[in-house]
Amino acid sequence: MKVITGSSPFGSQTRTRVLLALRLLEDSYARELARVLDTRLSAIQGALRGLERDRLIAGRDAGRTRLYRFDPRYFAHRDLVRYVTRLAEAEPALRDRVASLRRRPRRSGKPL
């Protein structure tokens, strides 16, 4: 089953896809989400602002970067995470993109 185009349980397809990616990544930042979802950075930033305003996700500053994750203080946090996890099961292409993503820096001096 795939999330139906034009329909979204979270208000827009971009918001839904951001939540799916955040569930798979645990925490992330706007540019990484734009790269994973192959979407414009401005669209991702708008979705993140809206999701944070709705308190579904929480952002924190890490240096000059703002990291986002599901807000553990959200009243239905466990139910939300379970629901988004189920939705993510229907997105094998997104799961593969996240799995192939390098999440830590390359060791200094290591050849490409």
pLDDT tens profile 29-84: 999 999 999 999 999 999 999 999 999 999 999 999 999 999 999 999 999 999 99
For the chain, what are the domain ranges? Answer: 13-94
Residue 106: predicted pLDDT: 62
pTM: 0.85
* Residue 56: how many other CB atoms lie within 10 Å: 21
Residue 107: predicted pLDDT: 67
Candidate CATH numbers 3.40.50.970, 3.40.640.10, 1.10.10.10, 3.20.20.70; the one for domain 13-94: 1.10.10.10
Q: Across all residues in the chain, what is the average pLDDT?
A: 89
> Is the model's pLDDT at 5 over the cut of 70?
no
d(CA 86, CA 79): 11
Q: In what order do the strands lie in the sheet with 28-29?
A: 28-29, 65-70, 57-62
